[in-house]
């Protein structure tokens, strides 16, 4: 049991607590140093799962015992996105520096809703860095949020207020006679529709514009749909373009969409969840051309930026719209000019959350300690690895590429009869083998093995392991051998 000093939760024996703390730090550094020797992922045995079904117990665990529970039942059964062989979905790998910064932030226990404090200044510093990265004007504002789902929602809400005025905050959408419609590509992330739903506009009011053969929004179809909606008496107000689509990594034609948005006076939002940070990579950044014209950009530091979860960002060209959307004037205009209540506007005036964590610290540490250039190199490197994987697929008659490789995502499959089922089985076998963890997606009705190379730790060796194991499992499927014997290969 942890002995605490009377009436507080602090330890009575600080030296003993310090020793245990050092042990916990060492264990996590060991974990990160030796990640590669572990399986990417392993299924959780039922008896381990059962340990999470206990009633709340009145007898406290010791800190040492709680740490043992973590080491034995939690750490080995995480999703594995820190591991270089993890290529499923679009997950960042995290870093040891980010981990240490999280510890500092937790110790400080800052609440970033507002007040006159250095943590808020640090978040403002980050905002300025982001603003200059995307070449936004000084009127711009922004906020760290949980992730791009939240950032997309904020984008929709700010665009709504910019169009309808602050009255909409009292009357709701129903108070306006206008029927708002928004546009995104057919391959856009589900959180765009989610944002329309949560904002009360409704996902039916989101037009999904068809994509071309590169999985980019078809701008001719976009222009036609906007024109038809206007003709029908609807009010087009918002376009969400994607920079780095989650399924294949496509970048919509941002400059052409910016053009159209300007002409039609629509809010131009970019969902750059993972792709926007390619602005840090000199060889990839030119492909984002047009993003600097956006009214708002949503992106994540926790994907390509490698900041530990969670850290998303919303950048808004004209921060006045953001204040109009979220600030309660009664509260923020009455703040002090001195003392702890100075320094308005506060972060809570720019988004829906009042209490907020110190996400800025791990983000600032990551950018400062590694430097933007090195982070950009990681992004370039994952794209180069995707090209390497693409070449391996093209050189092997058993494998087939299913989508163009624009950035760091490669969609392919093993050629065989009943390919949808076999490739789904191959992906499960890969995951269960612990060798690699890709995911699946469906492209034009065909199931693809999807390798999203996001992790800074991934190397050609990990790509080779993925390809070799895929070929092995494919062969087993063709000779009707069960792939569950996978562990033996
Ligand atoms: C990951 C992703 C999202 C959602 O971001 P979260 O940080 O998971 O909320 C939205 N759009 C795209 C294109 C993504 O890749």
pLDDT tens, residue by residue, 195-233: 999 999 999 999 999 999 999 999 999 999 999 999 999
Q: Rounded to the nearest whole angstrom, what is the distance from the C-alpha of residue 243 to the centroid of ligand 1?
A: 11
Long-range contacts of 168-176 (CB under 8 A, 24+ apart): 169/325, 172/200, 173/199, 173/200, 173/201
Give the pLDDT confidence score for residue 328 in this predicted structure.
87
Residues 363 and 377 occupy one common structural domain: no
Task: Pull the structure tokens for residue 28.
Answer: 């996590």
Residues 361 and 377 occupy one common structural domain: no
**Global pTM exceeds 0.95:** yes
Residues 321 and 378 occupy one common structural domain: no
Of 350, 370, 390, the residue at which a domain comes to its end is 370
E strand or H helix at 48: helix 46-50
Cα–Cα dist 315/295, whole Å: 8
Cα–Cα dist 439/432, whole Å: 12
**Residue 487 covered by a domain:** no
**Residue 24 covered by a domain:** no
Residues 332 and 401 occupy one common structural domain: no
Q: Rounded to the nearest whole angstrom, what is the distance from the C-alpha of residue 405 to the centroid of ligand 1?
A: 19
Give the pLDDT confidence score for residue 84 in this predicted structure.
98
Q: What is the pLDDT of residues 23-78, one digit of tens each?
A: 999 999 999 999 999 999 999 999 999 999 999 988 999 999 999 999 999 999 99
Residues 233 and 291 occupy one common structural domain: yes
Q: What is the pLDDT of residues 443-455, one digit of tens each?
A: 999 999 999 999 9
Q: What confidence category does residue 488 fall into, taking pLDDT thresholds of 50, 70 and 90?
A: very low
Residues 147 and 275 occupy one common structural domain: yes
**Residue 35 covered by a domain:** no
Q: Which atom of ligand 1 is nearest to the CA of 149?
A: 9
- Residue closest by Cα to atom 1 of ligand 1: 273
Pocket test for ligand 1, best of 151, 195, 246 (most atoms within 8 A of CB): 246
CATH number of the domain to which 439 belongs: 3.90.1150.170
Pocket of ligand 1 (CB under 6 A): 90, 147-149, 189, 191, 242, 245-246, 271, 273-274, 300, 312
Residues 396 and 440 occupy one common structural domain: yes
| Number of domains making up the chain | 2
Residues 313 and 426 occupy one common structural domain: no
Closest CA to 423 of 372, 476, 374, 488: 476
Residues 412 and 325 occupy one common structural domain: no
Residues 404 and 260 occupy one common structural domain: no
Beta sheet of 409-414, edge-to-edge order: 399-401, 409-414, 446-452, 439-443
Q: What is the pLDDT of residues 285-314, one digit of tens each?
A: 999 999 999 999 999 999 999 999 999 999
Q: What confidence category does residue 478 fall into, taking pLDDT thresholds of 50, 70 and 90?
A: confident
Cα–Cα dist 133/33, whole Å: 32
Instruction: Tell me how far the alpha carbon of residue 232 is from its chain's centroid.
Output: 37
Q: Rounded to the nearest whole angstrom, what is the distance from the C-alpha of residue 89 to the centroid of ligand 1?
A: 10
CATH number of the domain to which 331 belongs: 3.40.640.10
Q: What is the pLDDT of residues 83-110, one digit of tens each?
A: 999 999 999 999 999 999 999 999 999 9
For the cut 90, the answer to whether the pLDDT of residue 346 exceeds it is: yes
Long-range contacts of 169-176 (CB under 8 A, 24+ apart): 169/325, 172/200, 173/199, 173/200, 173/201
Of 336, 355, 370, the residue at which a domain comes to its end is 370
- Residue closest by Cα to atom 12 of ligand 1: 273
Distances (CA, A) of 356 to 53, 61, 258, 450: 30, 29, 33, 35
What does R_g of the chain's alpha carbons equal in angstroms?
Answer: 25
Q: Which atom of ligand 1 is nearest to the CA of 151?
A: 9
Q: Rounded to the nearest whole angstrom, what is the distance from the C-alpha of residue 273 to the centroid of ligand 1?
A: 5
Q: What is the pLDDT of residues 237-291, one digit of tens each?
A: 999 999 999 999 999 999 999 999 999 999 999 999 999 999 999 999 999 999 9
Residues 342 and 418 occupy one common structural domain: no
Task: Pull the structure tokens for residue 86.
Answer: 């993890």
Of 370, 385, 408, the residue at which a domain comes to its end is 370
Cα–Cα dist 239/269, whole Å: 6
Q: Which residues of 260-283 are buried (b: 16+ CB within 10 A; e: fewer)?
A: bbeebebbbbbbbbbbbbbbbbee
CA dihedral sign of residues 45, 50, 51, 52: positive
Q: Rounded to the nearest whole angstrom, what is the distance from the C-alpha of residue 126 to the centroid of ligand 1?
A: 20
**Residue 49 covered by a domain:** no
- Residue closest by Cα to atom 15 of ligand 1: 246
Which residues span the domain enclosing 435? 373-478
Residues 131 and 260 occupy one common structural domain: yes
Q: Rounded to the nearest whole angstrom, what is the distance from the C-alpha of residue 30 to the centroid of ligand 1?
A: 30
């Amino acid at each position: 049991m942890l002995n605490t000093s009377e009436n507080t939760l602090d330890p009575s024996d600080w030296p003993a607590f310090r020793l245990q703390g050092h042990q916990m730090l060492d264990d996590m550094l060991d974990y990160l140093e030796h990640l590669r020797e572990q399986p990417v992922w392993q299924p959780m045995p039922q008896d381990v799962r059962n340990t999470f079904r206990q009633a709340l117990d009145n007898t406290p665990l010791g800190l040492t015992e709680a740490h043992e529970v973590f080491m034995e039942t939690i750490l080995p059964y995480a999703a594995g996105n820190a591991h270089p062989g993890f290529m499923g979905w679009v997950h960042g790998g995290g870093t040891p520096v980010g981990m240490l910064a999280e510890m500092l932030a937790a110790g400080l226990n800052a609440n970033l809703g507002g007040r006159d404090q250095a943590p808020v200044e640090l978040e403002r510093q980050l905002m300025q860095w982001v603003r200059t990265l995307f070449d936004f004007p000084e009127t711009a504002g922004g906020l760290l949020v949980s992730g791009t789902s939240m950032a997309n929602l904020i984008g929709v809400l700010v665009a709504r207020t910019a169009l309808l005025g602050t009255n909409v905050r009292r009357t709701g959408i129903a108070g306006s006679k206008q029927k708002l419609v928004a546009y995104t590509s057919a391959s856009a992330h589900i959180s765009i529709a989610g944002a329309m739903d949560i904002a009360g506009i409704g996902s039916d009011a989101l037009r999904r514009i068809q994509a071309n053969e590169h999985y980019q929004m078809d701008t001719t179809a976009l222009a036609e749909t906007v024109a038809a909606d206007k003709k029908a008496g609807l009010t087009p107000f918002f376009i969400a373009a994607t920079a780095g689509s989650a399924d294949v990594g496509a970048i919509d034609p941002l400059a052409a969409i910016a053009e159209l948005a300007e002409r039609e006076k629509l809010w131009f939002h970019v969902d750059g969840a993972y792709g926007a940070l390619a602005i840090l990579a000199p060889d990839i950044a030119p492909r984002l051309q047009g993003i600097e014209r956006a009214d708002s950009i949503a992106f994540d530091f926790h994907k390509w930026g490698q900041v530990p979860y969670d850290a998303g960002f919303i950048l808004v060209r004209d921060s006045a719209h953001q204040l109009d959307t979220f600030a309660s004037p009664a509260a923020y205009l009455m703040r002090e000019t001195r003392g702890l209540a100075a320094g308005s506007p506060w972060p809570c005036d720019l988004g829906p959350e009042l209490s907020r964590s110190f996400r800025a610290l791990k983000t600032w540490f990551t950018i400062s300690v590694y430097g933007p250039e090195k982070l950009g190199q990681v992004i370039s490197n994952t794209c180069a690895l995707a090209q390497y994987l693409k070449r391996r697929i093209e050189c092997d008659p058993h494998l087939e590429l299913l989508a163009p490789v624009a950035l760091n995502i490669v969609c392919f499959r093993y050629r065989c009869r009943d390919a949808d089922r076999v490739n789904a089985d191959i992906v499960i076998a890969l995951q269960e083998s612990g060798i690699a963890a890709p995911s699946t997606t469906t492209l034009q009705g065909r199931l693809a093995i999807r390798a999203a190379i996001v992790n800074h730790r991934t190397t050609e060796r990990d790509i080779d392991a993925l390809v070799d194991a895929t070929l092995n499992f494919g062969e087993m499927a063709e000779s009707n051998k069960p792939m569950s014997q996978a562990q033996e290969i």
